[in-house]
Amino acid sequence: MSFDKRVDGRGLLDLRPMEAKVGVIEKADGSAYFRMGDTVAYAAVYGPRELVPRFKQNPKKGVLRCNYNMLPFSGVGERIRPGGNRRSKEISMVTEKALLPVVLLDHFPNSVVDVFIELPQTDAGSRCAGITAAALALADAGIPMKDLVSAVAVGKVDDKLLVDLRYEEEAFEGEVSDIPFAFIHNTGEVSLLQMDGIIDDENLIKLVDLARDAALKVYEVQKQALLEKFKKVGDSNERK
């Protein structure tokens, strides 16, 4: 069985349609909604706020705490029992590591910034959607950041290099690799890199560049979402 074309008719390097909005959860200090095809993520930021227990407080810098969770009705099959599992714990951790290089922790010593990511609907690329939404929520909250982080998954399905895999592509019954990436925008440095599947070194290196190009497109969507927040009033008014 060979992989010929993508189910939804996309080009090999095309991302699914994306949608992003910030300020969607009014009670949170910052929040965002991000959709990539059929994968949807909400992110909310609370903080900086008091970190308890107090012994965890660091007088030199703050703490970034991320929690990723899939909602019970978000899976492609049966209901997912709430409460998280080992997979979501690991994703929470790599999400934190993906965002850490850009968050200026020394600006909020002795306190914590909590980032909550919940997905009501998934179709692969969920941790990437979560990280992308989280970066937006952090910016919306006014947490000092050097830069934004943008995430996207790439992979090799059979002999084709693909960008932004869907569940059906990940489930292909041949050689598959699903490789989520996250990039810091200005420097192009990689802050998330994992893989499920099988890949050879040469193709992995090719995929880094493909992922970087794709992440730049994700960044544009993020940027628009942040600017959109101020558009409704701003434009009609004169700037001094």
Verify binding: residue 183, another protein, rule CB under 8 A: no
Binding to another protein (CB under 8 A) within 2-61 occurs at 25-31, 38, 42-44, 46-51, 59
Task: Quote the distance between the C-alpha of residue 160 and its chain's center.
Answer: 24
Q: How far is the CB of 181 from another protein (least distance, A)?
A: 17
Cβ-based burial of 78 (10 A; exposed 0-12, middle 13-18, buried ≥19):
exposed
Tell me which of 3, 34, 108, 181 binds another protein, using CB under 8 A: 108
Which residues in 146-175 contact another protein (CB under 8 A)?
A: 146-148
Kindly state the smallest distance separating residue 117's Cβ from another protein, in Å. Answer: 9
CA distance 211 to 33: 22
CA–CA–CA angle 125, 128, 133 (5° rounding) = 125
Q: In the complex with another protein, which residue's Cβ is closer, 31 or 177?
A: 31
Sequence-ordered alpha helix ranges (H) in 32-190:
86-99, 126-141, 167-170
Q: Which of residues 50-69 bind another protein (CB under 8 A)?
A: 50-51, 59, 62, 67, 69
Q: Which of 36, 129, 131, 139 binds another protein (CB under 8 A)?
A: 139
- The distance of Cα 195 from the centroid of its chain, to the nearest Å, equals 15
